Amino acid sequence: MSDINIQPEDQAVFDRLKSDGRITHRLRRMMTQQWNTCVSCGRNTPQGRPVFAGYDENKKELLVGACCSDRLAHLATPVYWTGTLNLSAPDSSKVWRYMDFTKFVAMLMQQGLYFTTAENFSDPFEGAIGLADRETIWDNYYLDFFRQAVTTAPPGYTPPKLSDQEVEAEAHRLLKSIKATSTHVRKSLVNCWHENDDESEVLWQLYSPPSETGLAIQSTVGNLWEAASNSDQAIVGRVHYLDFRKRYASIQSERIFCKRQSLSHEREIRIVLQNDRNEPSNGQVLKCELRNLIDGIVISPFAPSWFVDVLNSTIAKFGFEFDIRPSSINDEPFF
Ligand SMILES: [Zn+2]
């Protein structure tokens, strides 16, 4: 957590506009894909400074720095670049979802994507901040940070007079409250994809090993954003693989996009939805137009030969038509 560094030109935006927190799907997409770049002039916002997410006078989404803030008519939210992760992946980037036949049939039936709560995945590090034996170092860092935060005030304000005991109590309360958000992060609803220009033999082995009737759906990051447009809070983002022996995941809820280095072969792009805080569910279908989502289907190189007909007739029964092709893993060599 580095310091927020508001300059007079940023303050002028806050004086002119009050943020209303209204973030449409298109604005969230822009906030993720542009990260810290002003869409108007292409300038990158320095650490600690805000970029402003909102709408122009024609209600068109806008993400601008103070540099181009005159275009902004409504402010949805400021975003501060204090160590946030860059989750963006190009819209044109190819993504794959390897699955067995039953999951594919379920997808056709449900006409949408199935999201699983992160805590139900086999990786115990989903939503984790770091390694257990490095927890004390992390705690102490944030306790120090909070001690400072509760005893300093922004310019123009008098810092509150607190006894040492009160400072300690408040710092510990704040630490507890940020750690409590982990429960919610682990309830996030997640749908996973693999980013790759081509097929991956390793993933075939993992997700549809020999003799299983598996397939891979091919799509793009842009399609995933479109598929998630039924949800205002969906984020499509590239997973960051971290060496937890050396660092911690993000303190913010975006750490749902952080995984262990040992899983980096997954090259994951995930769609994340927030789970209802009051009635969290274990899974959820997000309806989408499968025709637009699926660019093609590749049949597992290990599937038996009769599978092609079954797949074709199943797709036809549900009224779809997809471009189906065999896996290139089965291409013949010459010597
Ligand atoms: Zn600008």
Domain range summary for the chain, segments of one domain joined by +: 8-80, 94-127+188-330, 132-185
CA of 230 to the centre of ligand 1 (A): 30
pLDDT of residue 208: 85
The whole-angstrom separation of Cα 270 and Cα 250 is: 16
The pLDDT, as a whole number, for residue 111 is 97
pLDDT of residue 149: 87
Å from CA of 76 to ligand 1 middle:
17
Can you give the pLDDT at residue 2? 57
What is the Cα 331 distance to its own chain's centre? 35
| pLDDT of res. 121 | 95
CA 72 to ligand 1 center in whole angstroms: 11
Count helices and strands in the chain by DSSP H and E runs? 9, 14
pLDDT given for residue 46 in this prediction = 87
> Which residues are placed with Cβ below 5 angstroms of ligand 1, an ion?
38, 40-41, 43, 65, 67-68
* Residue 289 token pair: 């137009």
pLDDT at residue 22, as a whole number = 95
d(CA 48, CA 79): 9
Quick one: residue 319, left, alpha or beta (phi over 0 = left, psi -120 to 50 = alpha)? left
* Verdict on whether the full-model pTM lies above 0.85: yes
Name residues of the chain where pLDDT drops below 50.
none
Q: How far apart are CA 268 and CA 277, in angstroms?
A: 26
Residue 71 CA to ligand 1 center (angstroms) comes to 10
Tell me how far the alpha carbon of residue 299 lies from the centroid of ligand 1, in angstroms: 47
